Amino acid sequence: MRKVILQCFITVLISVLVCFAVLVASIFFPIDSRKVLIDIKEEDVIGLTSLEIEEKYGKFDCISRSDGKGKDGLYRNTVCGYTKKERESVLYKEWPEWLFFIEFDENGIARGCYEGYRPGG
């Protein structure tokens, strides 16, 4: 009888310790579970004009380092971006907005891409 009680106690103790470890891990190592809003890749846009990209994916969410939009509707010497993941706060952890940026050359053609945070926070 004593052996059974001891085994039950050890099982409960291990269960409590595992639950505590999972809780601590989730606090110190939170998982970014935000859904991806737009599935866009570099190979999808390189070589296209800003007009072609806007036709396919919609209006840009962010425009920076801009020479502006020309009379022909093309962005030149500009970096434009689409929001991939929105800003989110969970408990004490905050994930800033995450964007997919496209760099356009002087002819309004996409020459490079990268991902990062919105300029200025």
Question: Is the pTM of the predicted complex or chain greater than 0.75?
Answer: no
* DSSP annotation string for 27-75: HHS----PPPS----HHHHTT-BHHHHHHHH-S-SEEES---B-TTS-B
pLDDT tens string 53-105: 999 998 988 888 766 777 888 898 999 999 887 766 666 666 678 889 999 99
Residue 34's pLDDT band (cuts 50, 70, 90): low
Is the Cβ–Cβ distance between 81 and 60 less than 8 Å?
yes
* DSSP annotation string for 59-70: S-SEEES---B-
Query: What Å distances lie between residue 55 and 14, 43, 47, 83, CA to CA?
Result: 57, 16, 14, 16
Which of 118, 93, 85, 84 is closest to 31 using CA atoms? 93
Which pLDDT does position 32 carry in this prediction? 53
